[in-house]
DNA sequence: GATTCACAAACAAACGGTCGTTTGGTCACT
DNA sequence: AGTGACCAAACGACCGTTTGTTTGTGAATC
């Protein structure tokens, strides 16, 4: 009855998902019509359905792709050797690099995922919970080992880290003077400095001015 | 020809704007139809146009109302007596309190403003720039007075503050155990601790666990 | 000769918005 | 008290357009 949406193969389908990521991030899910999508690929909207099952399926694919990228990097950071500070830094740098390198998918992952219908949204929510759990784990480790202050608020600290990383998409412009890695390092330094028990201050260079962007 | 949309008077119109704020924040601007709005007020969509000029006018009203609230609180924090730390704290606490007390309008202000057409969007952008300028001013003052580290990155620090505050809407639930004020204080402490030149550590109580929410 | 892929046309439903009409209530005037 | 003018507010049908999706057809590719 319904034509099966062949999984991930087909290069043309990948183009579709990429175009959807760009449009959804620019105009939002509900603000993007199938005609917009088709126009951006030089075809008619009806033709899209040779590659996909529905508009929502497309949204899910973009969102899930974003979630997987974040999780992969986060898992690597969580399990690597080193102090909790090292891992927290690797986590945040990885988060910000991922967000910037795939700005479209990351924006959609952060902003449009809530428009998924119940079941698909729940699947994404699971991954988000897992992700936040990884940050909390690192912070908890740092406290256990005496590296971080014992009275640090774990949930609040984790959210501060994620908030910093999650808002990058809102102000980052590719023509800025700082690299993603550099941004990640600076954010981490600010946060970790406040977390540590003893002072292990690393000198930080003064950066150039950048334009105002909230 | 076009019926003039009477400014801000009319209590019924205010109800309309409030209902729009709630719906726009829940379903997004493009995801909310005029029929949704009318239904939520128990009237027909055609009747809405006795009070408003267009859907976009409604969006602008919600967004601008949000912007004004943030700006008012921020201006008060910026001009108050005290150290830069005090003002930075007042700023962030005010930001978070405002965001939570008017969660709907704040969410729309942060997420949906970009769907305004060019001119209206530019007006909002101005206010956002002003807002960010206020944070930077406080950080700059702190550096000048020797209160904050001389090598602190002003733009980055300002963004860290705003990011923390701007993401609150995404995880805050009214039934949580922490008050808006408490949340603001904890965030500020984490950030300011990393900014200060000498240690002026204030003891912080360990908070209760809260549920996972990204 | 089967499979891909896009076209072209059509679909019902929903979109934002308009408009002439009806409603319920409040006036001033008799 | 009764009457008619006035008025904001809501109705309800309708506008033209766009929405996401389906389907039958035909050209190209393997």
pLDDT digits over B64-81, tens only?
999 999 999 999 999 999
- B36 to chain A, any CB pair closer than 8 A? The answer is no
% of chain A with per-residue pLDDT over 70: 87
pLDDT tens digit sequence for B92-106: 999 999 999 999 999
pLDDT tops 60 at residue A120: yes
pLDDT tens digit sequence for B117-149: 999 999 999 999 999 999 999 999 999 999 998
Environment class of residue B33 by beta-carbon count within 10 Å: exposed (0-12), middle (13-18) or buried (19+)? middle
pLDDT in the model for residue B130:
97
CA closest to A203 among chain B residues = B151
What is the rounded distance in angstroms from the CA atom of residue B112 to the CA atom of residue B71?
18
* Average pLDDT over every residue of A166-177: 88
Environment class of residue B210 by beta-carbon count within 10 Å: exposed (0-12), middle (13-18) or buried (19+)? middle
- B206 to chain A, any CB pair closer than 8 A? The answer is yes
* Average pLDDT over every residue of A66-88: 95
Q: How confident is the prediction for chain A on average, in pLDDT?
A: 86
pLDDT in the model for residue A197:
62
pLDDT tops 80 at residue B49: yes
Structure tokens at A146: 């005496």
pLDDT in the model for residue B3:
35
Task: Report which DSSP code applies to A45.
Answer: G
pLDDT tens digit sequence for B159-193: 999 998 899 988 898 888 888 899 888 888 888 88
Instruction: Point out the residue among A132, A162, A207 whose CB comes nearest to the CB of B153.
Output: A207
**Torsion sign (Cα): B182, B99, B144, A92:** positive
What is the rounded distance in angstroms from the CA atom of residue B52 to the CA atom of residue B10?
11
pLDDT tops 50 at residue B203: no
**Subunit contact B214:A160, Cβ cutoff 8 A:** no
pLDDT in the model for residue B9:
59
Interfacial A residues in 70-89 facing B (CB < 8 Å)? none
Task: Report which DSSP code applies to A4.
Answer: P
- A122 to chain B, any CB pair closer than 8 A? The answer is no
Instruction: Point out the residue among A191, A203, A212 whose CB comes nearest to the CB of B129.
Output: A212
Environment class of residue B71 by beta-carbon count within 10 Å: exposed (0-12), middle (13-18) or buried (19+)? middle
- The minimum CA-CA distance between A19 and chain B, rounded to whole Å, is 20
**Subunit contact A128:B214, Cβ cutoff 8 A:** yes
B117 touches strand C (CB under 7 A): no
- The minimum CA-CA distance between A212 and chain B, rounded to whole Å, is 6
* Average pLDDT over every residue of A127-145: 95
A130 touches strand C (CB under 7 A): no
- Please report residues of A whose CB lies closer than 8 A to that of B161: none
- The minimum CA-CA distance between B16 and chain A, rounded to whole Å, is 22
A43 touches strand C (CB under 7 A): yes
pLDDT tops 60 at residue B204: no
pLDDT tens digit sequence for A138-164: 999 999 999 998 888 899 899 999 998
- Please report residues of A whose CB lies closer than 8 A to that of B205: 151
pLDDT tens digit sequence for A185-194: 888 888 888 7
pLDDT in the model for residue B57:
93
pLDDT in the model for residue A9:
62
CA closest to A198 among chain B residues = B199
Q: What is the DSSP string of chain B?
A: -PPP---S--HHHHHHHHHHHHHHHHH-STT--HHHHHHHTTS-HHHHTTT-S-HHHHHHHHHHHHHHHHHHHHHHHHHSSS-HHHHHHHHHHHHHHHHHHTHHHHHHHHHTGGGS-HHHHHHHHHHHHHHHHHHHHHHHHHHHTTSB-TT--HHHHHHHHHHHHHTHHHH--TTSSS-HHHHHHHHHHHHHHHHBSS--PPP-PPPPP-----
Instruction: Point out the residue among B29, B167, B210 whose CB comes nearest to the CB of A163.
Output: B167
In chain A the first and final C-alpha atoms are separated, in Å, by 49
pLDDT tier at A100, thresholds 50, 70, 90? very high
pLDDT tier at A75, thresholds 50, 70, 90? very high
pLDDT tops 90 at residue B24: yes
Nucleotides in D strand less than 7 A from protein CB: 8-14, 18-23
**Subunit contact A214:B128, Cβ cutoff 8 A:** yes
Q: CA-to-C1' distance for B72 and C1, Å?
A: 73
């Amino acid at each position: 009855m319904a034509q099966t949406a062949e999984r991930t193969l087909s290069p043309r389908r990948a183009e579709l998902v990429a175009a959807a990521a760009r449009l959804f991030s620019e105009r939002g899910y509900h603000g993007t019509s199938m005609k917009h999508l088709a126009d951006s690929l030089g075809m008619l909207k009806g033709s899209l359905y040779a590659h996909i099952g529905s508009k929502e399926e497309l949204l899910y694919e973009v969102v899930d792709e974003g979630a997987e990228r974040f999780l992969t990097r986060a898992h690597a950071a969580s399990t690597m050797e080193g102090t909790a500070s090292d891992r927290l830094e690797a986590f945040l740098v990885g988060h910000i690099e991922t967000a910037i390198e795939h700005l479209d998918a990351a924006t959609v992952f952060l902003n449009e995922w809530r428009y998924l219908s119940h079941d698909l949204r729940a699947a994404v929510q699971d991954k988000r919970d897992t992700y936040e759990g990884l940050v909390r784990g690192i912070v908890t480790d740092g406290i256990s080992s005496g590296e971080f202050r014992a009275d640090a608020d774990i949930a609040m600290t984790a959210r501060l880290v994620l908030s910093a990383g999650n808002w990058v998409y809102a102000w980052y412009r590719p023509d800025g003077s700082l690299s993603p890695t550099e941004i990640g390092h600076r954010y981490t330094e600010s946060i970790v400095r406040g977390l540590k028990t003893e002072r292990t201050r690393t000198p930080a260079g003064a950066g150039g001015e950048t334009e105002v962007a909230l």
